[in-house]
A and B are shown apart, each in its own frame.
Chain A
Amino acid sequence: SAVISQKPSRDICQRGTSLTIQCQVDSQVTMMFWYRQQPGQSLTLIATANQGSEATYESGFVIDKFPISRPNLTFSTLTVSNMSPEDSSIYLCSVLEGGEQFFGPGTRLTVL
């Protein structure tokens, strides 16, 4: 399966600031996704990152708060903007490969 890496692995940020999370895949993949996993909870899809076009956001998530870039088939970024303590969570990128979905190691974000 594809090897997925994320940077940073964790960060502690002040409210009102923004953090950009990077996701790198070692092979070209058609579909990439961004998920959020709040402490002790399940995985919630934020958006589908589309190569060369605007991301497709799920209900409850908006581009102004979670801008996403996907400049090519191996890389994507998720920005968490104007952060508040409620944004404290693990953010995971995910890729679809061979009909199966795999996850990156996640970025643990704490907002103070």
Chain B
Amino acid sequence: GENVEQHPSTLSVQEGDSAVIKCTYSDSASNYFPWYKQELGKRPQLIIDIRSNVGEKKDQRIAVTLNKTAKHFSLHITETQPEDSAVYFCAARIQRNKLSFGAGTTVTVRA
């Protein structure tokens, strides 16, 4: 099945700096890559996604890039704010609409 690896496991950044999280996937048939943000005690929330026919997508301070050849995709958060502190999960869609998740990255934004 699909194997999604996510790095780093923890990330501490100064407020205003950028944060980058990287994921790799194993199944070249994967065609959809969402990112979820999970605050403590809350449900995972979809924050951005990208499909395999697109190389980059941006939504305000958040952007995602996809390199199909290398089978990796990344989340970029610019001008980080304290409310960006959370656990972020990448995922890749495999067959029958199932998502395979990365292990998660705990992001801490220092004020």
- A101 in the interface (beta carbon within 8 A): yes
The count of chain B contact residues (Cβ–Cβ below 8 Å) is 20
Contact A101 B43 (CB under 8 A): no
- One digit per residue, 1 when the CB lies within 8 angstroms of any chain B CB and 0 when it does not, for chain A 75-106 equals 00000000000000000100010011111111
- Looking at chain A's contact residues, is the secondary structure mostly helix, strand, loop, or mixed? strand
The count of chain A contact residues (Cβ–Cβ below 8 Å) is 20
Instruction: Please report which residues of chain A, range 65-80, place their CB below 8 angstroms from some CB of chain B when the two chains form the complex.
Output: none
Given A99-B32, A103-B43, is A43 in contact with B89 using a C-beta cutoff of 8 Å? yes
Q: A59: nearest residue on chain B (CB-CB)?
A: B1
- One digit per residue, 1 when the CB lies within 8 angstroms of any chain A CB and 0 when it does not, for chain B 75-111 equals 0000000000000010000001111111110000000
A-B contacts besides A43-B101, A106-B43, 8 pairs, CB < 8 Å: A41-B103, A41-B104, A42-B103, A43-B89, A43-B99, A48-B96, A103-B43, A103-B45
5 A-B pairs closest in CB distance: A103-B43, A42-B101, A43-B101, A103-B44, A105-B43
